[in-house]
Amino acid sequence: LARAQEMAGRPGRALRALRKATELAPKDPEAWNALGNQYSRLGKPGEARRAFRQALLLHPEFEWPHHNLALLALQEGNLDTCVREARLALDANAEYIEARHTLAVALFRLGRYREAEEECLRTLELASEDWRAHLNLANACDALGEHQRAKDGYEKAISLDETDPAVFLDFGIFWASQGKLDRAIQLFEVARRLDPDS
């Protein structure tokens, strides 16, 4: 019912259904995780965090709530917490690609570029055609001064997904930093077409 209500554009009713699910099955960690996700979608991080922690009380090695807590921490700028929770998610499931992306982004924002690079390379071992891993790797290489690797990474990411403005934006920033403003402008124009409200 909660999924149907969400798909029908009724998030409040979806929330009520998920609350009922946790009342009927208070020991089901998936129900608590789903409730936390709904609170996150509704912009209620405190309630979301409590639901995710309840899921982990019931199942301490459940990777989804750990990753969801990592995402909340990333949104709030609590990068050390994000790294810790993402690593816990990966301890539970080493092939959890979303957690690897989140970890790489947090490490990059912390200025731990070599560690971010390592996480991207691990992701690519699992999913060689993952455009986000190529993008994150390119950003890490650029920060490390490895500009040819960065350029190759941006080009690979674009070849895998030409619909996400983030790739064009970051590649434009790369060229602007190299003084190649015409190239940067071309990429920024593509990013703007893909996301006119950006």
| pLDDT, tens only, 75-134 | 999 999 999 999 999 999 999 999 999 999 999 999 999 999 999 999 999 999 999 999
Indicate if the alpha-carbon torsion angle 150, 154, 157, 159 is positive or negative. Answer: negative
pLDDT of 11: 86
Exposed e or buried b for every residue in 84-113, given b needs 16+ CB within 10 A?
Answer: bbbebbbebeeebebbbbbbbbbbbeeebb
Query: What's the pLDDT score for residue 28?
Result: 96
Q: Which of 76, 75, 43, 50 is nearest to 65 (CA)?
A: 50
Please give the Cα distance from 92 to 163 (Å, whole number): 32
Which pLDDT value is given to residue 5? 80
